[in-house]
Structure 1
């Protein structure tokens, strides 16, 4: 049996409770009770969620847990001295410690992330790095495992983390069965980006959106301005002007970002060679892709590929 403690506090983000379903279904998939769950808080009793309703919790005590996970929040709040002390004690006797979103701040305050790689929700990553400079913050990750410490991005990343823990304990087959029951992708790789280029560009008109959709579906093509303008039913000159006005960047830069995103996704979800990735994502050759990756991430694709396989 793996007892899991989910650490909550007033105002914690309610979506984190979705992890409970992952472990519940893992028990069913394994045909025996593998996990037991307990909601913990500093004082016990009812604790309000971010959605307004409250959940019943048990106060911190000396009972042993196999895994402790600190829930996240919509905002950054001060970490109580009681939670810090509890985590420091737990760090010496708990097989796994982890966090969702801003829960990483509690781990950092307890000194458990010093010298370690960690992630959090992208909008809080800069604050985490600034406040705790000994932590190696990687903001563009879904989750990271460094030793016995696991940290995850915000919101739905809690499910990815839970599936990764299930896979570690019970194997990939059980994790896949749980994911199918949850009606989610098996799980996003730890190194997968928290961002989407299509979401970030956010064009305002259907014509520019149509050009971007066409580009994403035809990355192997040259995707010249003329080709994109035709997809948008605009003249090349008008298309370039409208595209920049709506997205804040040139068509060429946006296409490169789409290709980088496609290439990175290929490396996260398979074991394709660099040459195959470069061809299928439209770069044509590995040197052109290498330059684009360095512009986007400051690292060549081989480094990111190794990190994805290790993460």
Structure 2
């Protein structure tokens, strides 16, 4: 029975605990207690979360036979760890089959030297800081999770669930992982190579009408999305719509639609095996040439390279 150890430190984020649900549901799906999950801290006892909520933990010193060690992050990068704590984590990591840093938990792995010479990810807000603090680590902020052999890292807090489901897939296969994802009501299983970026979040429309137009565009990318069409969805005149759209988003409607199409096309490339031509058609680029030109402007690489990069990360052992 693989024992999963979730290690928390004072100020951990409660949402990071959601990762344990993937292992609980894997037991439910298989009909056996395949995983045993433990909440650990260095000394055990009550540990306060970032909101002050306290959790009872077992002592890491008493935890023998941990198969998978997950270091949970908080809303901010952790302070430097004492040398004794680093030594304890290093010792347990050496004995474990695999170790992972969830969100800012990647900083903990880096402090222990476990990411030196490896690729890693963390929450995109703190990627630059991680790169500055740990120059021996290759930080890739535009990833949901990264698997580098026995060492895993994930992006922002909800990405910990994607990582946990990926661990379940490694252990129990694709069908069990899919069933776990369905029970978690995950919109879709995100591969490790997927972007942390969300174009709708970045556009951040303030009014319901502009938000309605953006949602309409996202749901109808294969259609011609003219200013007149979007203005009709927002129930504004084309002139009013264009003015309000630029004021709220800082972009023209045409540029925003292209960004939404790029995001959708990248998602299809990373998470499906549809031919490039089909991806271009279903996301509104009309043909491969136009989509390639947009990809080169946005990311400096063609769609095929994006697909290869995503599969390369996801396929890591």
Q: Could you tell me the TM-score, scaled by structure 2's length?
A: 0.91
Provide the secondary structure at the position in 1 that maps to 2:66. Answer: coil
Provide the secondary structure at the position in 2 that maps to 1:66. Answer: strand
Report whether the alignment pairs 1:288 with 2:298.
no
Per-residue CA shift, 1:112-171, capped at 9, x if unaligned? 112222111121112111211222212122211111111111222221111111111001
Report whether the alignment pairs 1:306 with 2:308.
yes
Name the residue aligned to 1:178. 180
Provide the secondary structure at the position in 1 that maps to 2:99. Answer: strand
Instruction: Work out the CA distance in 2 between the residues paired with 1:236 and 1:106.
Output: 52
Q: CA deviation at 1:186?
A: 5.3
Quickly say closer, same or farther: Cα 1:217–1:183, change in 2 above 3 A: closer
Provide the secondary structure at the position in 1 that maps to 2:113. Answer: coil
Quickly say closer, same or farther: Cα 1:222–1:181, change in 2 above 3 A: closer
Contact 1:4 1:65 survives alignment (8 Å): yes
188, 191, 197: which one aligns with 2:190: 188
Greater Cα offset, 162-171 or 233-242: 233-242
Instruction: Work out the CA distance in 2 between the residues paired with 1:204 and 1:56.
Output: 41
Aligned ranges for residues 191-270 of structure 1 at < 5 Å? 191-270=193-272
Contact 2:78 2:107 survives alignment (8 Å): no
Give unmatched runs, 5+ long, in structure 1: none
Name the residue aligned to 2:27. 27
The CA RMSD measured in Å over matched residues stands at 1.9
Q: CA deviation at 1:68?
A: 0.5
Q: CA deviation at 1:254?
A: 0.5
103, 127, 136: which one aligns with 1:101: 103
Report whether the alignment pairs 1:47 with 2:47.
yes
Instruction: Work out the CA distance in 1 between the residues paired with 2:28 and 2:206.
Output: 46
Q: Could you tell me the TM-score, scaled by structure 1's length?
A: 0.93
Instruction: Work out the CA distance in 1 between the residues paired with 2:206 and 2:31.
Output: 50
Per-residue CA shift, 1:37-93, capped at 9, x if unaligned? 222222222211223232222323372321111001011221312332223223433
Provide the aligned length of Structure 1 versus Structure 2.
Answer: 311
Quickly say closer, same or farther: Cα 1:295–1:135, change in 2 above 3 A: farther
Greater Cα offset, 25-34 or 63-72: 25-34
Name the residue aligned to 1:75. 76
Provide the secondary structure at the position in 2 that maps to 1:215. Answer: helix
Provide the secondary structure at the position in 2 that maps to 1:145. Answer: strand
Name the residue aligned to 1:66. 67
Per-residue CA shift, 1:86-109, capped at 9, x if unaligned? 232234332111011110001111
Instruction: Work out the CA distance in 1 between the residues paired with 2:235 and 2:46.
Output: 58
